[in-house]
A = this chain, B = another copy of it.
Amino acid sequence: MPQHPLAAFGRDYLAIPGPSVMPDAVLRAMHRSAPNIYHGALIEMVEGIVPDLRRVARTKGHVAMYIGNGHATWEACLSNTVMAGEKVLVPATGRFGLGWADVATGLGIDAEVIDFGKSSAIDPMRVAERLSADKSHEIKAVLAVHVDTSTSFKNDIAALRAVLDDLDHPALLMADCMASLGCDPFEMDAWGVDVVIAGSQKGMMVPPGMCFVFFSDKAAEARTRMDRVSRYWDWTPRANPTAFFEYWNGTAPTHHLYGLRAALDMIHDEGIENVWRRHHLLARAVWAAVEAWGSNGPMKMNVSDPVQRGHSVTAIGIGAPHATALRDWTEQNLGLTLGIGLGMAETSDPAWHGYFRLGHMGHVSGHMVMGMLGGIDAGLKALDLPHGSGALEAASGVIAGG
């Protein structure tokens, strides 16, 4: 009997940092015939979606919805605000900050990166230094990832606003909230963020394929000075449509909209602040387990300061090739898929096999997180990887505490 008795059965559990587990209500809402896209119920539904999206991002600002993924929002927001040849500043704390800078480069923008590596959050002081040197205000925008899905660092976006304000620097403040929207506390208006981008498939609990750009009046004003914005990326008609198709520059993503409506209902039924509390609690349970495992052996969270940890994703090092072995074991034997160590090392580097990430975003609960951790604990034991004891009870204790 070479095969483990649990191979390939039971409910799959995708514990990667996006796409996240889809609620049944969302999938059910998407299982329907196509609607009339010119008038009627779909149009009314979308009119209700817009304010409900704003409530998630905590803004009274503008919303442009796109058919696209996260990378699309990077291109969308820059296409509306920064021209080729202009400069942006990108304090990066992982692959996604670097990716945003690369997209800027692809648009002909001069993207200046302050690379904080994979092991520290953005230091606002270093950003302040660079901005204060920019006397002529060549920097048109500061692009910061709120929670970088690769390293799981959470950056202090409000502190960046304070830096800009202190220096009276007019650059737009843009935040990538792909991994954090609907998971970590975020206050677009209170924190003075000009552009917020997010996707459908993480905290929003809808399959990949839709994305969102929230923008302030100041960002809208920046749009007006652009030489040209391509029709697809132009956020103005999307945020102020005079006909329904203008929301989407063409045909609407009908089925995603049904799913999104269901997801927003769930989020607002729970209450966005409760959603944040839930994610914080589940994250603390995960952290407690990882700390216990790491108390005796190589396992270690990438972010040591809990304040700098995202609440929806946890990047973990365990030494190569153990991470890959662990992920393989849980997937093959338990149907539990853990995230790869994306961006923690090059895939061609043997060290790549030493990192993995846990997604705990969106439609997750206490028993699910305990199941994920329990599966990892079984994997550590099966593979005979050194680890401290008491991890699961440390986690259940956190959940018990509420």
Contact = CB atoms under 8 A, between A and B. Distances in A.
Nearest to A379: B400
Contacts of A18: 251
B106 A234 contact: yes
Nearest to A234: B106
B367 A36 contact: no
Contacts of A231: 71, 74-75, 102-103, 106-107
9 contacts: A9-B363, A11-B24, A16-B37, A70-B250, A106-B231, A207-B254, A336-B367, A378-B400, A381-B393
Given A10-B368, A103-B231, A368-B11, A278 B33 contact: no
Interface in A61-116: 67-72, 74-75, 79, 84, 102-103, 106-108
A225 B69 CA distance: 28
Nearest to A27: B31
A88 to B, nearest CB: 15
Contact of A34 (B1, B22, B335, B367): B22
| Copies of the polypeptide in the assembly | 4
Would you list the 5 A-B pairs with minimal beta carbon distance, nearest first? A10-B365, A370-B374, A371-B371, A71-B250, A381-B400
Interface of A: 1, 3-6, 8-14, 16, 18-24, 27-28, 30-38, 40, 67-72, 74-75, 79, 84, 102-103, 106-108, 199, 201, 207-210, 228-232, 234, 243, 248-256, 266, 270, 274-275, 277-278, 280-282, 330-331, 333-337, 339-340, 342, 347, 363-375, 377-382, 389-393, 395-397, 399-402
Contact of A5 (B24, B277, B372, B375): B277
A1 B16 CA distance: 30
Contact of A31 (B31, B72, B75, B252): B31
Contacts of A333: 366, 402
Given A391-B393, A393-B393, 4 more contacts: A38-B342, A75-B231, A106-B234, A335-B367
A370 B375 contact: yes
Given A34-B201, A367-B334, A389-B393, A68 B68 contact: yes
Contacts of A32: 24, 27-28
Contact of A28 (B21, B28, B102): B28
Contacts of A38: 16, 339-340, 342
Contact of A253 (B207, B275, B382): B207
Given A33-B12, A377-B393, A400-B378, A106 B207 contact: no
A395 to B, nearest CB: 7
A358 to B, nearest CB: 12
Contact of A366 (B6, B366, B367, B380): B6
A249 B370 CA distance: 33
Determine which residue in A102, A254, A393 has the highest number of CB atoms from chain B within 10 A of its CB, and name it: A393
